[in-house]
Structure 1
Amino acid sequence: MLAEADNGAELAASMAELKAYLRIESDGEDAVLAGLLRSAAALCEQFVGQWLIRRGARETVPADGRWHRLAARPVVAIGAVAAVDDAGAVTPLPVEAYAIDIDASGDGWVRAVRPGNRLAVEYQAGMATDLNGVAEPLRQGIMRLAAEHFVARGDEGAAPPAVVSALWRPWRRMRLS
């Protein structure tokens, strides 16, 4: 189970950039453009397999004594770790009851020292605090995809431009199951 916060507010700073790219001077299309920016950023996150904007997550993993990788990445901080019993009651654990690690590729890891039911882990993941801190090729791909969707409104057969995946591909992280 993974919960995450909405990252729409952090994308608002890029509205002016998208409007300039599309040569739009009025505010009449702002709601549409904001939705397209959020959608393009979400598609970028799915493509690269990483969260762009830093936000909090809560995940539950087995407390079986083995290391478990957290779902979101790149993990920047692991906060609270708690035990979850069969009834769903959550009890904070002392530091000596679990182990945590963040590896060089940004994967977060957690394990219970003593096996139990489940662990609830709260952590932060994301590349930057806002879209302006994300690598320029990722930002450029988001802008181009949002612009392409704006221009192609009503054309259901429109395909995203190949340049977008070319801009995003160097940041793509895939996991083998």
Structure 2
Amino acid sequence: MLVREEAGAAGASLGQVKEYLRISGSGEDGLLEGLIKSATALCEQFLGQWLILGEARETVLADGGWQRLSARPVSAILGVDAVGPDGAGQALPVDAYSVDIDASGDGWVRARPLSGQRVLAVRYRAGMAEDADGLPEPIRQGIVRLAAEHFSARGGEVASPPAVVSALWRPWRRMRLA
């Protein structure tokens, strides 16, 4: 089970969306901020990657095999705990497990089978950039365009994402085959 320790930061700024929409007042700021968060979440789902660096906590099996972490791209694996049947965690010594981050940004963890403890709790950091300014411009621009599209359709019209948004994001899309 994957838990994002903090809410993901927005992939574009309020100022960028307001500039795109040519809005100068602050009366719509709350609505626009919500639309930016929504567009950021949709972008992350489409890309299969976290945009802004954040900490995650994930439980994986401790069966001796390599376990792939769900969030990506992984930048650091911070620690591994063995979780007992009672749910209590205990930090594992470094020689009791192995970690790897491969060239594509997938994080991997392996621990030898532990007596009575079949689950590991892994703490790690994942994301493409420290903040929205570190994201590639096409990703940010797609978030701005999607938020603006949803803002324009707020009168009850059905908003369909413009094809340009997926075209902007597609080069960074990572999919896993089942």
Q: Whose helix fraction is larger, Structure 1's or Structure 2's?
A: 1
Aligned to 1:58: 57
Aligned identity (percent) is: 64
Cα pair 2:74 2:124 within 8 Å, conserved: yes
Q: Which runs of 5+ in 2 are unaligned?
A: none
Say what the alpha-carbon RMSD is for the aligned residues.
1.3
Kindly report which structure 2 residues correspond to 1:76-115, keeping only aligned pairs within 5 A, or say none. Answer: 76-115=75-114
| Distance (whole Å) between structure 2 residues aligned to residue 56 and residue 24 of structure 1 | 34
| Distance (whole Å) between structure 2 residues aligned to residue 54 and residue 96 of structure 1 | 27
Aligned residues: 175
| Distance (whole Å) between structure 2 residues aligned to residue 110 and residue 165 of structure 1 | 32
In the TM superposition, what is the alpha-carbon distance from 1:156 to its structure 2 partner? 4.0
Distance 1:158 1:11, change over 3 A: closer
Cα pair 1:98 1:110 within 8 Å, conserved: yes
Cα pair 1:12 1:34 within 8 Å, conserved: no
Cα pair 2:65 2:110 within 8 Å, conserved: yes
Return the letter of the residue paired with 1:108.
Answer: G
Give the structure-2-normalised TM-score. Answer: 0.95
Cα pair 1:97 1:114 within 8 Å, conserved: no
Give the structure-1-normalised TM-score. Answer: 0.95
Q: Which runs of 5+ in 1 are unaligned?
A: none
| Distance (whole Å) between structure 2 residues aligned to residue 13 and residue 67 of structure 1 | 36
Cα pair 2:81 2:120 within 8 Å, conserved: yes
1:164 partner SS:
helix
Ranges of 4+ aligned residues in structure 1 off by more than 3 Å: none
